[in-house]
């Protein structure tokens, strides 16, 4: 009798557990399908398919180089071709690499290289281009880690056009004034209301009494997140997202022209927070938040003209053991900088993994508030590959862990000094009350 009761109780427990597990899987999969369905992806969105071979001829093969590595870049057509990279060795070509996209990072100091296109249909080979790369002197630069070395002080908080600053960009305009452009809205942090960028202006960086508010930009009646500003040959370029890449140009960094969409549909979903780095003359890299099938990542795109972009791979992958893999992607606000022979990739590691975080976010509920300010910094000797992150205890390229949200790293030449910023939604940020803040940054050598 007791045994029958025990079996009945056990069956009841198993049924309850199965129901709970089924409901959990239903909500998890359902949320991911719901948020993904409206998002479009396309490798060719920036270059029309019928223009790819023309662009290949115009571009050829481009080189970026370091003391122990060579990167070859070209225009790719992955629906029709794969690519083989050869090196000239003892009078004959030997294979040293392969790629599906227009990018190949080689652990070579120099040499003569060629890139061959292999047709997926016929197997026929076609030359994309050849390059000769001179070997650079070998060096063993020290590895450093960034350290926040001062108190946070107010940098900028809008009052007229918005009430806070989240992701932002900082640069000097043509007159030499410092400018901050950043996400804002007239709310306490409603991401659906973020449709333009607040602007702060100051003569010095950091300013003693904060930046003064100016007229907002990018007010086009649609979502405008995470601006990034660079200058090239006297022209300023502003890029922003989400889900596609927008661009405006300016002759002075103050007045901006009409927006244009330069990536209508990215290669992976949850594309946002783009940051552009000049890798070499005529070559730029775009780093963006993204998500693969499950794991979050930082995607890398390549451009030879700042207008047409192609996906070339991941700059940072995450895998089993990584703590956060939100349906919306967790590797936010990527920022890459170079310091004394190494490259450093900073990400704010936000948005926990499971469905309830996505459901609670619109209600402004965030259980683990300190995680909002969790920034990870990874190191590499090149700007293309920062390795794999499998959690804090299994991350060979992890250099530092900083308490900041969506930080920007600023070098001020006049002071020979580095600074770091932090920002965020007023309803959750614990470092500020919604303003962008700034602190001194120091680089400490790693033994």
Q: What is the pLDDT of residue 48?
A: 93
CA dist 271 and 43 (Å) reads 13
Contact 254, 173 (CB under 8 A): yes
Please state the domain extents for the chain: 49-133, 144-445
Q: Residue 137's pLDDT is what?
A: 85
Tokens describing residue 278: 């000049």
Burial of 379 (0-12, 13-18, 19+ CB in 10 A): buried
Nearest to 183 by CA among 435, 438, 447, 440: 435
Closest CA to 70 of 303, 275, 279: 279
Q: In 10 A of CB 171, how many CB atoms?
A: 19
| Alpha-carbon span 398 to 344, nearest angstrom | 9
Q: What is the pLDDT of residue 127?
A: 97
Residue 12's pLDDT is 82
For the chain, what's the residue count?
447
pLDDT at residue 10 in the model: 82
Is residue 242 within 8 A of residue 136, CB to CB? The reply is no
Predicted local confidence at residue 2, as pLDDT: 56
Q: Given this model, what pLDDT does residue 196 score?
A: 97
Other beta carbons within 10 Å of 200? 24
CA angle 121, 127, 133 (to 5 degrees): 140
| Per-residue pLDDT at 286 | 98
User: How far, in whole angstroms, is CA 35 from its chain's centroid?
Assistant: 20
Nearest to 157 by CA among 435, 438, 420: 435
- Check residue 4 and give its pLDDT: 65
Written as tens digits, the pLDDT of the chain (447 aa) is: 556 667 888 888 888 889 888 998 998 899 899 999 999 999 999 999 999 999 999 999 999 999 999 999 999 999 999 999 999 999 999 999 999 999 999 999 999 999 999 999 999 999 999 999 999 888 778 999 999 999 999 999 999 999 999 999 999 999 999 999 999 999 999 999 999 999 999 999 999 999 999 999 998 899 999 999 999 999 999 999 999 999 999 999 999 999 999 999 999 999 999 999 999 999 999 999 999 999 999 999 999 999 999 999 999 999 999 999 999 999 999 999 999 999 999 999 999 999 888 889 989 999 889 999 999 999 999 999 999 999 999 999 999 999 999 999 999 999 999 999 999 999 999 899 999 999 999 999 998
Peptide bond into 428 cis (omega under 30): no
Q: At 445, list the tokens.
A: 């050598």
- Residue 246: the pLDDT is 98
Q: How far apart are CA 19 and CA 70, in angstroms?
A: 54
Listed as own residue / partner, the contacts of 96-102 with beta carbons closer than 8 Å and 24 or more positions apart are 100/76, 101/76, 101/310, 101/311, 101/312, 101/313, 102/73, 102/74, 102/75, 102/76, 102/302, 102/310, 102/312
Classify the C-alpha dihedral 43-325-147-173 as positive or negative. positive
Nearest C-alpha neighbor of 315 from the set 289, 294, 337: 289
CA atoms within 13 A on the CB side of 425: 19
Predicted pLDDT of residue 447: 82
Q: What is the CATH number of domain 49-133?
A: 2.60.40.10
On whether the CB atoms of residues 71 and 103 are closer than 8 A, the answer is yes
Fold of 144-445: Tachylectin-2; Chain A (2.115.10)
* pLDDT at position 3: 65
> The tokens of 248 are what?
């405006």
What does pTM read for this prediction? 0.96
């Amino acid at each position: 009798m007791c045994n029958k009761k025990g079996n009945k109780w056990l069956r009841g427990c198993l049924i309850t557990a199965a129901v709970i597990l089924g409901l959990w899987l239903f909500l998890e999969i359902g949320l991911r399908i719901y948020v993904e369905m409206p998002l479009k992806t396309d490798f060719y969105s920036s270059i029309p398919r019928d223009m790819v071979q023309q662009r290949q001829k115009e571009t050829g093969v481009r080189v970026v180089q370091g003391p122990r590595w060579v990167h070859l870049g070209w225009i790719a057509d992955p629906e029709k071709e794969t690519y083989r990279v050869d090196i000239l060795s003892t009078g004959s070509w030997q294979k040293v690499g392969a790629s599906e996209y227009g990018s190949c990072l080689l652990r070579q100091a120099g040499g003569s290289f060629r890139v061959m296109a292999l047709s997926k249909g016929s197997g026929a080979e076609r030359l994309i281009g050849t390059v000769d790369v001179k070997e650079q002197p070998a060096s063993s630069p020290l590895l450093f880690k960034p350290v926040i070395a001062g108190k946070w002080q107010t940098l900028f908080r809008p009052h007229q056009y918005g009430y806070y600053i989240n992701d932002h960009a900082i640069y000097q305009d043509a007159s030499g004034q410092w400018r901050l452009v950043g996400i804002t809205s007239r709310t306490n942090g409603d991401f659906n209301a973020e449709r333009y960028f607040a602007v702060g202006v100051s003569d010095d960086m950091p300013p003693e009494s904060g930046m003064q508010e100016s007229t907002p930009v990018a007010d086009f009646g649609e979502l405008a997140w995470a601006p990034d500003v660079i200058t090239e040959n006297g022209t300023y370029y502003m890029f922003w997202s989400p889900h596609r890449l927008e661009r405006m140009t300016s002759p002075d960094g103050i007045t901006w022209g009409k927006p244009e969409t330069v990536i209508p549909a990215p290669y992976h979903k949850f594309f946002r927070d783009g940051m552009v780095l000049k890798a070499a003359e005529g070559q730029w890299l775009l780093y963006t938040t993204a998500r693969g099938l499950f794991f979050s990542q930082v995607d890398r795109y390549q451009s030879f003209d700042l207008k047409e972009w192609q996906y070339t791979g991941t700059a940072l992958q995450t895998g089993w053991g990584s703590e956060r893999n939100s349906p919306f992607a967790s590797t936010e606000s990527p920022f890459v900088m170079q310091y004394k022979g190494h490259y450093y990739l900073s990400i704010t590691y936000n948005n926990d993994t499971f469905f309830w975080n996505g459901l609670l976010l619109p209600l402004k509920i965030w259980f683990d508030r300190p995680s909002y300010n969790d920034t990870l910094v990874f190191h590499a000797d090149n700007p293309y590959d920062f390795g794999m992150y499998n959690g804090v205890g299994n991350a060979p390229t992890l250099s530092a862990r900083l308490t900041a949200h969506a930080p920007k790293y600023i070098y001020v030449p006049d002071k020979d000094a580095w600074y770091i910023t932090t920002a965020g939604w007023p309803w959750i940020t614990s470092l500020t009350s919604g303003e962008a803040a700034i602190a001194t940054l120091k680089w400490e050598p790693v033994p």
